[in-house]
Structure 1
Amino acid sequence: MIKGDKYAHFWIEEGILNFVYKPNTILDLDGAKAVVRARLRYQNGISYPILCDVRHLKSASKAAREYLAENGCLKALAVAIVMEKAYSGTLYKAYMNISNPSVPTKGFNTISEALGFLIQYKL
């Protein structure tokens, strides 16, 4: 079942949590906190590999990026970030540099590549 909040849709499919930002999402600190809260509530204490599709994310404030960098991989076994090629040089690098993720994290330009990476982390 697809759940969501103001900012994103999320669902679990074949042992992977899919997290997709809604079109033209502008994320501030409160939004980032709401996104993490909603995802953790949906996960109900269970850790999953997470496919995070940021292709529709229009922008994220510096505070939102920092919050997600620190808290975005809570209850994650691994994270695959799907982004447009233009993003790969900016948002993703900032996320990786700030967060130094505690779980395996990689950026991809296609969902199929991201799923190929995540499959090895399924329970």
Structure 2
Amino acid sequence: MIKGDKYAHFWIEEGILNFVYKPNTVLDLDAAKAVVKARLRFQNGVSYPILCDVRMLKTASKAAREYLAEKGCFKALAVAIVMEDAYTGTLLKAYINISNPSVPTKGFSTISEALAFLNDYK
């Protein structure tokens, strides 16, 4: 069953929580908090590896990115971030090095690569 809020759609498939941002989403700190709250409510206390597709995300503030790295990893076993090729290196390195997420986190340009990474955490 696909659930969602005004920022994203999410569902569980084969033991992986799929999280896809809606087109042109702008994440500020309040939006990031709302996203995490909706995801945790959906997970109902169960931890999952998370595939996070940010290809439609328009932008995220520094405060939002820091919040997601710190609090957004709660009840996540690992996070695979799917993003456009042009951003995979630079943005992801900045996110990992500056925000320092608390669970294994890697960036990918395809969903199939992301799923292969997450299968080790199911």
Same fold (TM over 0.5): yes
1:67-93 per-residue CA deviation (whole Å, 9 max, x = no partner) reads: 111112110111100000122233312
Preserved contact between residue 69 and residue 102 of structure 2 (Cα < 8 Å): no
**Whole-Å separation in 2 of the counterparts to 1:65 and 1:105:** 13
Partner of 1:76: 76
**Whole-Å separation in 1 of the counterparts to 2:98 and 2:69:** 6
1:8-51 per-residue CA deviation (whole Å, 9 max, x = no partner) reads: 00000000000000011111110000000000110000000000
Q: RMSD across aligned C-alpha pairs, in angstroms?
A: 1.0
Partner of 2:120: 120
More off after superposition, 69-78 vs 92-101: 92-101
Superposed displacement of residue 94, structure 1: 2.1
Is residue 90 of structure 1 aligned with residue 78 of structure 2?
Answer: no
Compute the TM-score of the two structures, normalised by the length of structure 1: 0.94
Superposed displacement of residue 6, structure 1: 0.5
Q: Percent identity?
A: 86
How do 1:1-123 and structure 2 match up within 5 A? 1-122=1-122
**Whole-Å separation in 2 of the counterparts to 1:47 and 1:99:** 21
User: SS of 2:37's equivalent?
Assistant: helix
Compute the TM-score of the two structures, normalised by the length of structure 2: 0.95
**Whole-Å separation in 2 of the counterparts to 1:58 and 1:99:** 19
Gaps of 5+ in 2: none
Gaps of 5+ in 1: none
